[in-house]
Amino acid sequence: MSDQSSIQEVKRPERATADTVAKLAGVSRVAVSRAFNPHASLKKEKRELILKIAKDVGYTPDMAARALVTRRSHLVGVIVPDVCSPWESQEIDALTTALQAEGFATLLFKTRTDQSMDERLLTYMKGFNLDSIIAFAENVTPDTLAHSLGRAVPIYVSYSEDGSLPNQPKSTSVFDRLIVDQKNGIDQAVALMQAYGCKRFAYLGGTTTSLANTERERAFKCVMNERDLPEPLVLQGDYTYESALASTLDLFQVGEGVDGIFSANDVGAFGVIDALRFKLGLRVPEDVKVVGFDDIAQSGWLSYNLTTVKIDLEDRVRALVRLILRRLKDPNAPAMIETLQTRLIVRGTVGS
């Protein structure tokens, strides 16, 4: 007998079905389906038994078939402009973990460098029949997504006080939003810097296409005005360490310098601190006070010990998941909103 004949005679094992699991567990087929739905009512012991038997026989639910019946894909799309920077990577990790705990799988979509999306990718996205999509790229408009997603209502993170998406055409489509109140945390930061003697401030910006940066700069200038402080210098940046270091060197080597720098993100603040300490021979915080924004994990490292405005990542993710669940419960509801506050985390780059 040839090797080829031997291979042909080997029969593949039949795929286990829900009926297989139900028979072995002594339960109904409906109970098997409920066991794989974390929100379905089922006794703990029965769920554990069904899941154990399913694992033993190699059964997994056919999600495509389930989606046809329930009209739910259990897929959540996430649109991001970047996946490498510390804030984005930490948020994606936390969000994916939280969604998986709720029974969702996550599909990640990346924008172009200008935060727009390829039309082919939008068409591709529609084929997944997403339950929801979170757009961390504000330049992909709600109307654009509405034409590409069908029933899913997109979620945006807005940094404006009224929850709008500044510099974007008014949307005719329903979209949900998480509003991040930046002003309170920024006001706390400016108050602390002012209390330690800062009189000449600079704002180190982020990417010019980022609406979050636009609103952050606006809020910072508003706080400065309310506190009768002079208009801050605005330094060009793009959220990266390298641009922050270069802009800081230009500020002190070409310009007159300042005694307080507020960075649009923590990574930029790291570049500022290293430029001051290692390139310019200045002390932080004695000569120049530095504040960041985000409170990424690295901000607490002893080498930076950065005072920063915190967006609580756990609260932010929890709010996004609530929006998804609320929308799925009431698909035709008007726009839904969650609001998140910011606060100052005081470490060692303002006061000694």
Residues 175 and 317 in one domain: yes
Report the helix count and the strand count for the chain, using DSSP H and E.
13, 11
The secondary structure of residue 12, as a DSSP letter, is P
Residue 6 CA to residue 331 CA, distance in Å, equals 55
Better-scored residue on pLDDT, 54 or 344:
344
How many independent structural domains does the chain possess? Answer: 3
Tell me what the mean pLDDT of segment 229-238 comes to: 95
Share above pLDDT 70 across residues of the chain, in percent, rounded to a whole number: 92
The secondary structure of residue 166, as a DSSP letter, is T
Residues 160 and 200 in one domain: no
Instruction: For residue 32, give its domain range.
Output: 3-61
Tokens of 199: 């009189």
Residues 187 and 293 in one domain: yes
What three-state secondary structure class fits 293? strand
Which residue has 């591709």 as its token pair?
124
pLDDT at 121: 81
Which residue has 């601190």 as its token pair?
273
Residues in the chain: 352
Q: Is residue 345 part of a domain?
A: no
Residues 138 and 280 in one domain: no
Residue 109 CA to residue 83 CA, distance in Å, equals 10
For the stretch 6-29, pLDDT in tens is: 445 445 457 788 888 898 999 998
Residues 134 and 170 in one domain: yes
Residues 133 and 168 in one domain: yes
Residues 175 and 209 in one domain: no
Residues 156 and 249 in one domain: no
Residue 171 CA to residue 141 CA, distance in Å, equals 8
Q: Is residue 79 part of a domain?
A: yes
One-letter amino acid identity for 258? Answer: V
CATH number of the domain enclosing 294: 3.40.50.2300
Q: What is the mean pLDDT of the chain?
A: 89
What three-state secondary structure class fits 197? coil
Q: Is residue 349 part of a domain?
A: no
pLDDT at 13: 53
Closest CA to 111 of 125, 121, 96, 101: 121
How many C-alpha atoms does 28 have within 13 Å on its Cβ side? 4
For the stretch 265-290, pLDDT in tens is: 999 999 999 999 999 999 999 999 99
CA 160 centroid distance within chain:
17
pLDDT at 10: 45
Residues 191 and 306 in one domain: yes
Residue 140 CA to residue 175 CA, distance in Å, equals 12
pLDDT at 234: 97
Residue 110 has pLDDT above 50, yes or no: yes
Tokens of 247: 């802009």
Q: Is residue 89 part of a domain?
A: yes
Residues 290 and 333 in one domain: no
Q: Is residue 346 part of a domain?
A: no
CATH number of the domain enclosing 19: 1.10.260.40
Alpha-helix runs per DSSP H in the chain: 3-9, 18-25, 29-35, 44-57, 63-70, 86-101, 119-126, 142-149, 183-195, 211-226, 241-253, 266-274, 313-329
Residue 197 has pLDDT above 70, yes or no: yes
Residue 145 CA to residue 116 CA, distance in Å, equals 11
pLDDT at 347: 98
Residue 31 CA to residue 21 CA, distance in Å, equals 10
pLDDT at 146: 84
